[in-house]
Structure 1
Amino acid sequence: MQKRGKKTAAASRDEKREQKIFQALAAAPRRAILRHLAASSLTAGEIASHFTMAKPSISQHLAILEGAGLVSREKRGQFVHYALAQKVLEPCLAGFLQDVDMTGRATPAPPEDEKPAGPRARGAARSASTEKATPTEPEADAGPAEKPAPAQMSMF
């Protein structure tokens, strides 16, 4: 069995942290909580006043956000105030955007052997080799539109 190096262990920890962050961001109520916390820190009761769900559900969402490191908590007297942890969220999202190359740089075209060879790809290659039609011109080989089968029709 091989030992993992320090870099591999750190990368694994970072991946696990990213996974927790994206799992926390997957639920719409948690994203809404983060939007509310972006303006200022709030108590659990103040956060709950923005939602129609039960307070224990809000507490559960806050625990998930806190576990992912997206929210920090501070006890002030008898109340716990929650705040957005921007130092965690911003680098994670920026790193994700960089990973998927959404930074504005042009992405290179995939090599020819990686392009799909399905009917759409063959049709696209065929139409690319012919002269482009103007948007108002109908395609010559396009037949009449097919009607959906009765089982596909909706009553509403």
Structure 2
Amino acid sequence: MDNINLVFEALSSTPRRKILNYLSATSLTAGEIAERFEMSKPAMSKHLKILQTANLINGEKKGQFMHYSLNRDNLVTSLHDFTANLCPVGSVLKKESKKMADDNEGS
């Protein structure tokens, strides 16, 4: 499955969109995220794994806790690539951009 499909699969769930919102301003531990939901730990772990697989969040082990943070670069890049491909002029602009990059390399 390509990255954009993973992103849309991840964003298709209300709990996962809420997790992204909680992580929008700060990193949180898995426990801090779980406190905000009424779901089992295995269900929360599954949601976090889907978000990590889509590369929308990063997980970092600090001591005995896993800390999660938003991967802003990937989210913006994935959505930009998607909209550029959907937009009627997007593919033309991407081709022009590629040509400019190729021309600059040749200079």
TM-score, reference length from structure 2: 0.76
Structure-2 residue corresponding to 1:34: 20
For 1:50, give the aligned amino acid.
Answer: R
More strand by share: 2
Q: Give runs of aligned pairs for residues 1-156 of structure 1, distance below 5 A.
A: 16-101=2-87
More helix by share: 2
How many residue pairs end up in the alignment? 89
- What is the alpha-carbon distance in structure 1 between the residues aligned to residue 43 and residue 57 of structure 2? 16
Stretches (4+) displaced over 6 A? none
Deviation at 1:97, TM superposition (A): 2.3
Deviations 1:85-143 (A, max 9, x none): 1111001112222233399xxxxxxxxxxxxxxxxxxxxxxxxxxxxxxxxxxxxxxxx
- What is the alpha-carbon distance in structure 2 between the residues aligned to residue 66 and residue 34 of structure 1? 11
Q: Are the structure 2 counterparts of residues 38 and 63 from structure 1 closer, same or farther at C-alpha, using a change threshold of 3 Å?
A: same
CA RMSD of aligned residues (A): 1.8
Q: Which has the higher contact order (CA 8 A, sep 6+)?
A: 2
- What is the alpha-carbon distance in structure 1 between the residues aligned to residue 5 and residue 69 of structure 2? 21
Structure 1: stretches of 5+ with no match in the other structure: 1-14, 104-156
Tell me which structure has the larger Cα radius of gyration.
1
